[in-house]
């Protein structure tokens, strides 16, 4: 867009500084947003993107600096004022009430609480008009809890548009979408900016930033590191600006498949509530391979990882480990057979926040390795933890501090060390880099590749297609509990995988063959 | 008397509706709290305090409706105390609620002794008298059962209907329900979750106290220490039974009351002579548990019930 310089300034951030105790989250950040413009706000985790947006939205009060909306200075710390001035925010974690309908969620808070009554018919008509105009298809009478993630996001956007938002802030909007859904979202955004809406698009996915934005604002350590017109920059340039030095992702070569360590044949597991079980699934985990599992979350990934962890057993089908059929299948046998897990949620199931590093490091092996006749051997456990800290580069003051004080990346390194030290045959890595910064991501990926080269089979479950495509020797797509055939490295484009993720290509007659 | 005779008699249904009335008040009050996301276990103590406050106010010379208002205000004050600890401070709702029940009950007994130091049996007041609604009360069966009750019973049904209207048809009701489902959704719209929840708990507690006052101002004409007798806990169950919906909750209250009315009558029949009376006393509770198990299995519990909301956290 060449005329952005002439367009009206709708938002002006000036010298925004925000401190939390000794930590400076934002320091002297200034930029302008024009009418009909898309600014991509780019930065690593912890770079201060979300803090900045929360200040703009009035949830935090800036220590220094001002926010101007349409020439008016925004009173600090008043979300209502930002809303009324026309700022709509689509949070990364949706703020929707599941048991309420779509239209109820959208009109919440629009009328004053003293208004005598809701006007459902009027509201629904308006929602229909908006969803037609911006191609945001959604059933206004449906309960939000029944919607897919993509549909929920549409509800969030409709919520902002319903309030006549002039500025739309999207916080990592594509993190939960299939490539097709993301493309549809971009189409909607293009429609919206044509009508004069301005957008701030928070992301760390460089190709999306390049595709949708007019300008890119890069934050690093809370400071504005750079501001670039999108058509005058490229992905490498932006990546370097984001981390402050040239990024070197580990180059991961294809592994040579070895013997089959685990094979599933026509395995079916029961549905668990809304989450589908596995439907006659065939899967082969061979030594020396990274097997990537792509798919939108909630499509059977949980069932598969529960199955491999021994938490559930198949209702039908066969399971073989190292060529012999599996008889009794419990978490204990799974661990004994050398299946190690990097859990999906390191805070909830991976660690115990108020335990120290030592206690967390031996969570899975304390009984077998670190105790004798029922008594713990703490000296040995501490020594083991010290080794882990050194080998896996866990940056921390020592083994005796509580793990909640560690950053996500260092926490994950400790979990990684805990898992890899056991030299497992099969590694179940569930979203191993979610929420980590690039440095930690590269470290984890390198470690997984190393484990593979040693002869382990790694099952990588991720919603991030880039990660799957970069790492995997074989890629399967899971959709509604069904598994696609295995695709070799480099044989599929993201769009092709996206079609499978959306459920196309599965043929009931011929279950997948590996 | 045989079971069918009992079920077809107007006096049986009149008793059921009368027994149901205090339960309706308190259940609706609890439902409002829980819809906003706060479990109010102070209900039992608030009902005791309401029963006493309404009665003592009338004894001291206020008109009957003045007594209802005093009970309501007493309940609202206790509700405010609950909400201060449970909402902005975000303390455990179980602990706050049980603590409030103990506090309100003890305070009531204390006040009773301070006001009436040398009384062996509590004084009586003139309670609400039945008011026969013209025309409607002449209908067969439903007339005497439904339309020959005291004004406070009619108020209970009006309150339930109004609560349903507010919850489902007004922006305020939507905000209350959303606060119990996902408070961040409410906060993201620039509304105050704290104010909404505190308001709901305060108002809901007021209705609980009126439920207690029904006992002293309408069902009986005096105050006894153990007169609430676990009705508050029944109301907690009735909210679940009613799947957090006012209409179903009223039905549940009437069902429980019908069981209660039935057991009194069954005690006087032939089987009453054979089976110990304690079995009959147990019956409404036993049948309630049974109904609860059947009815509540598919209920949609407010997602944020018992989850304190702290601004700025995810």
Listed range (A216-220, A369-373, B36-40) with the worst mean pLDDT: A369-373
Question: Is A1 part of a structural domain of the chain?
Answer: no
Distance, in angstroms, between A140 CA and closest chain B CA? 16
Question: Is A284 part of a structural domain of the chain?
Answer: no
A95–B187: do the CB atoms touch at under 8 Å? Answer: yes
Share of chain A above pLDDT 90, in %: 38
The last residue of a domain, from among A398, A426, A454: A426
Residue of A nearest to B191 (CA): A109
Report helix, strand or coil for A326. Answer: coil
Q: Does A176 score more than 90 pLDDT?
A: no
SS3 content of chain A, % helix, strand, coil (to 5): 35, 25, 40
A99–B171: do the CB atoms touch at under 8 Å? Answer: no
Best CA proximity match to B208, nearest among B65, B31, B14: B31
Distance, in angstroms, between A95 CA and closest chain B CA? 4
- Higher pLDDT, residue B296 or B30: B30
Share of chain B above pLDDT 70, in %: 98
Q: Which two tokens stand for residue A313?
A: 């057993």
A96–B185: do the CB atoms touch at under 8 Å? Answer: yes
Question: Is A484 part of a structural domain of the chain?
Answer: yes
B170–A115: do the CB atoms touch at under 8 Å? Answer: yes
Question: Is A124 part of a structural domain of the chain?
Answer: no
Mutate one of B165, B170, B189, B200 to test the A interface: name it (highest A CB count within 10 A). B189
First to last CA, chain B: 62
A95–B182: do the CB atoms touch at under 8 Å? Answer: yes
Rg (C-alpha) for chain B, rounded Å, is: 20
Question: Is A382 part of a structural domain of the chain?
Answer: yes
Spell B43-76 as b/e; 16+ CB within 10 A means b: bbbbbbbbbbbbbbbbbeeeebeebbbbbbebbb
Question: B190: which chain A residues are within 8 Å (Cβ-Cβ)?
Answer: 58, 78-80, 82-84, 109
Listed range (A15-24, B133-142, B202-211) with the worst mean pLDDT: A15-24
Q: Which two tokens stand for residue B19?
A: 């027994």
pLDDT tens track for A322-343: 888 888 888 888 888 889 989 8
- Quote the pLDDT of residue B205: 98
Question: B170: which chain A residues are within 8 Å (Cβ-Cβ)?
Answer: 115-118
Quickly state the pLDDT bin for B314 (edges 50, 70, 90).
very low
Measured between alpha carbons, how far is A257 from A174 in angstroms, rounded to an integer? 33
pLDDT tens track for B43-72: 999 999 999 999 999 999 999 999 999 999
Best CA proximity match to A480, nearest among A275, A266, A177, A180: A275
Query: What does the pLDDT average to over B287-304?
Result: 80
| Cα diameter, chain A | 78
Listed range (A247-261, A268-282, B57-71, B193-207) with the worst mean pLDDT: A247-261
Give A476's strand partners.
Answer: A293
Measured between CB atoms, does B310 come within 8 Å of chain A? Answer: no
**Could you state, in order of their start, the residue ranges of all structural domains in chain B?**
3-114+144-298
pLDDT tens track for A431-490: 898 777 777 888 899 999 999 999 999 999 988 888 888 899 999 999 889 999 999 988
- Quote the pLDDT of residue A347: 79
Measured between alpha carbons, how far is A44 from A222 in angstroms, rounded to an integer? 10
pLDDT tens track for B120-130: 889 999 999 99
User: Quick one: CATH architecture of B3-114+144-298?
Assistant: Orthogonal Bundle (1.10)
B171–A97: do the CB atoms touch at under 8 Å? Answer: no
Highest mean pLDDT among A96-100, A205-209, B93-97, B267-271: B93-97
A97: left (phi over 0), alpha (psi -120 to 50) or beta: beta
Q: Which two tokens stand for residue B57?
A: 């106010």
Model confidence pTM above 0.95: no
Question: A91: which chain B residues are within 8 Å (Cβ-Cβ)?
Answer: 184, 188
- Quote the pLDDT of residue A348: 77
Measured N-to-C along each axis, helices B277-295 and B231-241 cross at an angle, to the nearest 10 degrees, of 30
Measured between CB atoms, does B188 come within 8 Å of chain A? Answer: yes
Quickly state the pLDDT bin for A251 (edges 50, 70, 90).
low
Query: What does the pLDDT average to over A102-125?
Result: 92
Measured between CB atoms, does B172 come within 8 Å of chain A? Answer: yes
| Number of cross-chain residue pairs from A and B with Cβ atoms under 8 Å apart | 84
A109–B172: do the CB atoms touch at under 8 Å? Answer: no
Could you say which DSSP state residue A146 is in? G
Q: Are residues A359 and A405 in the same domain?
A: yes
- Quote the pLDDT of residue A43: 82
Give long-range contacts, CB 8 A cutoff, 24+ apart: A494-498: A494/A179, A494/A465, A494/A466, A494/A469, A495/A179, A495/A180, A497/A179, A497/A294, A497/A465, A497/A468, A497/A469, A498/A178, A498/A179, A498/A180, A498/A465
CB-based contacts of A20, cutoff 8 Å, min separation 6: none
- Average pLDDT of chain A is 86
Question: A114: which chain B residues are within 8 Å (Cβ-Cβ)?
Answer: 172
Q: Which two tokens stand for residue A314?
A: 């198949």
A117–B312: do the CB atoms touch at under 8 Å? Answer: no
Structural domains counted in chain A: 2
B178–A98: do the CB atoms touch at under 8 Å? Answer: no
Q: Does A513 score more than 60 pLDDT?
A: no
Q: Which residues of A touch B (CB under 8 A)?
A: 58-60, 78-80, 82-84, 89, 91, 93, 95-100, 104-105, 107-118
A93–B186: do the CB atoms touch at under 8 Å? Answer: no
pLDDT tens track for A338-376: 899 898 878 777 888 888 999 999 888 887 888 888 888
pLDDT tens track for B145-179: 889 899 999 999 999 999 999 999 999 999 999 99
Q: What is the dihedral of CA B4, B10, B14, B17, to 10 degrees?
A: 50
Q: What is the dihedral of CA A500, A503, A504, A506, to 10 degrees?
A: 90
Quickly state the pLDDT bin for A31 (edges 50, 70, 90).
very high
Q: Does A92 score more than 90 pLDDT?
A: no
Does residue A61 contact residue A55 with C-beta atoms inside 8 Å?
yes
Measured between CB atoms, does B169 come within 8 Å of chain A? Answer: yes
Return residues 290-309 of B near A (CB < 8 Å): 300, 302-303
Q: Are residues A422 and A346 in the same domain?
A: yes
Could you say which DSSP state residue A322 is in? T
- Quote the pLDDT of residue A250: 63
- Quote the pLDDT of residue A2: 46
Query: What does the pLDDT average to over B101-108?
Result: 96
Could you say which DSSP state residue A350 is in? I
Range of the domain at A377: 341-426
Query: What does the pLDDT average to over B83-90?
Result: 95
The last residue of a domain, from among A370, A404, A426: A426
B181–A93: do the CB atoms touch at under 8 Å? Answer: no
Measured between alpha carbons, how far is A170 from A467 in angstroms, rounded to an integer? 22
Kindly provide the ipTM of the predicted complex, given to two decimals. Answer: 0.84
Quickly list DSSP for A221-279: TTEEEEEEEGGG--HHHHHHHHHSS---PPP-PPPPP-SEEEEEEEEE---BTTB----
The last residue of a domain, from among A405, A426, A447: A426
B178–A104: do the CB atoms touch at under 8 Å? Answer: yes
Quickly state the pLDDT bin for A107 (edges 50, 70, 90).
very high
Spell B86-121 as b/e; 16+ CB within 10 A means b: bbbeeeebeebbebbbebbbebbeeebeeeeeeeee
Q: Are residues A356 and A422 in the same domain?
A: yes
Question: A118: which chain B residues are within 8 Å (Cβ-Cβ)?
Answer: 169-171, 174
Quickly state the pLDDT bin for A3 (edges 50, 70, 90).
very low
Measured between CB atoms, does B162 come within 8 Å of chain A? Answer: no
Query: What does the pLDDT average to over B133-138?
Result: 88
Question: B188: which chain A residues are within 8 Å (Cβ-Cβ)?
Answer: 79, 89, 91, 95
């Amino acid at each position: 867009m060449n005329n952005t310089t002439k367009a009206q300034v709708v938002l002006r951030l000036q010298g925004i500084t925000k401190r939390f105790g000794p930590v400076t989250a934002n320091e002297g950040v200034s930029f302008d947003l024009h009418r009909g413009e898309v600014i991509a706000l780019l930065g690593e985790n912890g770079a201060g993107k979300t803090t900045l947006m929360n200040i703009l939205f009035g949830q935090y009060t800036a220590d220094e600096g001002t926010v101007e909306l349409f020439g008016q200075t925004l009173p600090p710390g008043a979300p209502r004022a930002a809303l009324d001035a026309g700022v709509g925010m689509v949070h990364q974690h949706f703020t929707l009430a599941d048991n309420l309908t779509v239209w109820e969620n959208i009109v919440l808070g629009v009328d004053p609480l003293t208004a005598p009554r809701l006007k459902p018919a009027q509201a629904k008509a308006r929602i229909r008009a908006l969803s037609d105009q911006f191609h945001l298809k959604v059933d206004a009478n449906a309960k939000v809890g029944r919607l897919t993630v993509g549909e929920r996001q549409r509800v969030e956007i409709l919520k902002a548009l319903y309030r006549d938002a002039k500025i739309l802030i999207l916080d990592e909007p594509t993190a939960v979408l299939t490539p097709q859904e993301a493309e549809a979202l971009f189409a909607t955004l293009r429609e919206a900016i044509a009508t004069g809406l301005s957008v701030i698009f928070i992301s760390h996915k460089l190709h999306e930033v390049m595709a949708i934005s007019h300008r890119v604002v890069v934050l690093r350590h809370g400071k504005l590191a750079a501001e670039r017109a999108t058509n005058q920059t490229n992905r490498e340039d932006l990546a370097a600006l984001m981390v402050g030095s040239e990024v070197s992702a580990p180059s991961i070569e294809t592994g040579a498949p070895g013997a089959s360590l685990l094979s599933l044949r026509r395995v079916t597991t029961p549905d668990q509530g809304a989450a589908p079980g596995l439907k006659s699934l065939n899967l082969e985990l061979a030594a020396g391979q990274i097997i990537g599992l792509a798919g939108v979350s909630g499509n059977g990934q949980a069932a598969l990882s529960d199955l491999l962890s021994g938490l559930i057993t198949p209702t039908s089908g066969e399971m073989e480990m190292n060529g012999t059929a599996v008889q009794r299948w419990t978490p204990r046998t799974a661990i004994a057979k050398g299946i190690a897990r990097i859990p999906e949620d390191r805070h909830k199931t991976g660690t115990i926040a108020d335990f120290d590093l030592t206690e967390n490091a031996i969570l899975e092996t304390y009984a077998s390795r670190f105790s004798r006749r029922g008594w713990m051997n703490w000296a040995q456990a501490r020594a083991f933890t010290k080794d882990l800290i050194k080998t896996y580069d866990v940056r921390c003051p020592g083994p005796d501090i509580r793990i909640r004080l560690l950053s996500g990346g260092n926490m994950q390194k400790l979990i990684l060390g805990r898992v890899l030290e056991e030299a497992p045959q099969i590694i179940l890595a569930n979203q191993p880099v979610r929420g980590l910064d690039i440095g930690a991501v590269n470290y984890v990926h390198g470690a997984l590749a190393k484990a593979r080269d040693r002869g382990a089979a790694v099952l990588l479950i991720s919603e991030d297609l880039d990660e799957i495509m970069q790492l995997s020797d074989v890629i399967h797509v899971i959709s509604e509990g069904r598994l696609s055939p295995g695709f070799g490295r480099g044989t599929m484009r993201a769009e092709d995988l996206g079609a499978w993720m959306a459920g196309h290509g599965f043929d009931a007659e011929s279950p997948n063959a590996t | 008397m045989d079971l069918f005779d009992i079920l077809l008699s107007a006096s049986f249904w009149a008793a059921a509706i009368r027994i149901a009335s205090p339960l309706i008040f308190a259940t609706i009050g609890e439902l409002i709290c829980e819809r906003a996301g706060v479990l109010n276990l102070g209900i039992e103590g608030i009902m005791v305090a309401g029963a006493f406050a309404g009665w003592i106010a009338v004894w001291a010379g206020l008109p009957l409706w003045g007594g209802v208002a005093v009970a309501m205000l007493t309940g609202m004050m206790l509700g405010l105390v609950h909400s201060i600890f449970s909402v902005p401070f975000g303390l455990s709702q179980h602990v706050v609620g049980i603590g409030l029940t103990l506090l309100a009950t003890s305070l009531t007994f204390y006040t009773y002794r301070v006001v009436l130091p040398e009384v062996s049996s509590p004084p009586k007041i003139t309670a609400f008298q039945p008011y026969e609604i013209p025309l409607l009360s002449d209908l067969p069966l439903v007339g005497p059962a439904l339309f020959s009750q005291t004004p406070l019973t009619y108020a209970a049904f009006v309150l339930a209907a109004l609560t349903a209207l507010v919850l489902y048809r007004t922006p305020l009701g939507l905000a209350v329900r959303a606060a119990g489902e996902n408070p961040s959704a409410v906060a993201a719209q620039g509304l105050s979750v704290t104010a909404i929840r505190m308001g709901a708990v305060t108002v809901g507690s007021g209705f609980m106290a009126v439920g207690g006052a029904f006992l002293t101002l309408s069902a009986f004409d005096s105050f006894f220490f153990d007169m609430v007798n676990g009705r508050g806990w029944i109301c907690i169950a009735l909210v679940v039974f009613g799947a957090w919906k006012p209409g179903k909750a009223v039905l549940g209250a009437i069902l429980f009351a019908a069981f209660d009315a039935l057991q009194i009558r069954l005690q006087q029949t032939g089987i009453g002579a054979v089976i110990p009376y304690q079995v009959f006393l147990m019956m409404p509770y036993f049948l309630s548990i049974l109904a609860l198990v059947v009815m509540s299995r598919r209920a949609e519990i407010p997602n944020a019930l018992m989850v304190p909301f702290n601004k700025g956290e995810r």
